[in-house]
Amino acid sequence: MKLLSPSATSSTHVSSSAFLPNVAGFQNLGSSSVTTFKFSKKQGRCIRRAGGTQITAKFELKPPPYPLNASEPIMSQNTFEYHWGKHHRAYVDNLNKQIEGTDLDGKSLEETIIMSYNNGDILPAFNNAAQVWNHDFFWESMKPGGGGKPSGELLKLIERDFGSFEKFVEQFKLAASTQFGSGWAWLAYKESRLDVGNAVNPLATEEDKKLVVLKSPNAVNPLVWNHHHPLLTIDVWEHAYYLDYQNRRPEYISVFMDKLVSWEAVSSRLEKAKAVIAEREKEEERKRREEEEKSTTGEDTPAPEIFADSDTD
Ligand SMILES: [Fe+2]
């Protein structure tokens, strides 16, 4: 991971391809008299300390985790050079220009996506921010010599929630091939029943936690939908496949599923999603017990008000 050389007014942090929204972001630590850079590999962000200087955080184009020619001929170097080298780069460059000097400057990529999605009333930075994240996630969703079948817990859940691995592949291919125009298809781990049509009882149960196949237009991704943890994606914008497959999108999707998907990456994302959910549930349970204890001990019961008798004045 490359950290660009610091300048007096700008710093760079690599766009995080975190599996889940990462609430931590680039931090302007303000008034230190020294300028230092600290890069946390774990959190994928750069922290800069500078005294008396206005700080601008910049996202960096992150390369795919394999050589650009590693998947020849099924995904050519030419495709990568255009897709990653030009399209993905343009999203990063445009995002950096759009956020400079705005409230989004200095936020993590995930925060930028959620804030600029603005509950569906999309702000200008959303498309570039989400496309940067989506492409990072896409490059890591595949590997040279990938494909085949997952194993372990992931396979068990796929079989439980779709009937069989083959039925899941069918659904995923259908979502990817029927996304009208540009967009993405996703496998996500859905954490609760909080979605349209089934929100009568908002309390989630174990049964609500399941794998789902989704598709999204343009740059939209599951980070903006509550309680959806993205595990796998395929880019179905025409720029993703036109050089190798022209208009044969279904063929590109089949090749992706058969020969490119990194099931190790998908399994690892599932594991992380479950860990995040378990941690949050533990915290919610702790708070619930704390509330219960307070109400049992009467800690929260307001003391009765005592009014002075006006006759005694
Ligand atoms: Fe793309």
- Strand ranges inside the chain, DSSP E: 10-14, 36-40, 45-49, 56-60, 183-190, 210-217, 228-235
Q: How far is the centre of ligand 1, averaged over its atoms, from the C-alpha of 180 (Å)?
A: 15
Short-list 262, 258, 239, 260, CA closest to 249:
239
Q: Are 42 and 1 in contact (CB under 8 A)?
A: no
| Chain-centroid distance, C-alpha 49 | 27
Ligand 1 center to 267 CA (angstroms):
23
Cα of 207 from ligand 1 centre, angstroms: 34
How far is 201 from 7, CA to CA, in rounded Å?
A: 53
Residues 26 and 56 sit within 8 Å (Cβ to Cβ): no
For the residues of 232-293, what is the DSSP string, one character each? EEEE-SGGGTHHHHTT-HHHHHHHIIIIIB-HHHHHHHHHHHHHHHHHHHHHHHHHHHHHHH
Tell me how far apart the alpha carbons of residues 239 and 99 are, in angstroms, rounded to a whole number: 25
Domains of the chain plus CATH, in order, are 146-291 (3.55.40.20)
Average pLDDT per block of 10 residues along the chain, 313 residues long: 32 39 28 29 34 62 97 98 98 96 93 94 96 98 98 97 97 97 96 56 68 95 91 98 97 98 98 93 89 79 58 44
Question: How many angstroms does the Cα of residue 78 sit away from the middle of ligand 1?
Answer: 14
H or E stretch covering 169:
helix 165-178
Is omega for the bond preceding 124 within 30 degrees of 0, making it cis? no
Angle of CA points 203, 209, 214, to nearest 5°: 115
Euclidean distance between CA atoms 290 and 3, whole angstroms: 44
230 neighbors 269 (Cβ within 8 angstroms): yes
Q: Which residue type, as a one-letter code, is found at position 98?
A: Q
The predicted structure's pLDDT at residue 191: 86
Q: What's the whole-model pTM score?
A: 0.77
DSSP state of 63: P
CA of 83 to the centre of ligand 1 (A): 6
**Radius of gyration of the chain measured on its C-alpha atoms:** 24
| Distance in Å, CA 256 to ligand 1 centroid | 14
Residues 60, 96: Cα–Cα separation, whole Å = 9
| 235 C-alpha to ligand 1 centroid (Å) | 6
The three-state secondary structure class of 54 is: coil
Query: Which pair of structure tokens corresponds to residue 284?
Result: 């919610």
Q: DSSP class of residue 147?
A: -
Q: What is the pLDDT of residue 152?
A: 97
| Size (the chain), residues | 313
CA 46 to CA 38: how far, in whole Å?
Answer: 6
Ligand 1 mean position, distance from CA 239 (Å):
6
**How far apart are the CA of 237 and the centre of ligand 1, in A?**
6
Query: Using CA atoms, how far apart are residues 270 and 141, in angstroms rounded to an integer?
Result: 12
Distance (angstroms) between ligand 1 centre and the Cα of 91 equals 10
What pLDDT, on a 0 to 100 scale, did the predictor assign at position 307? Answer: 60
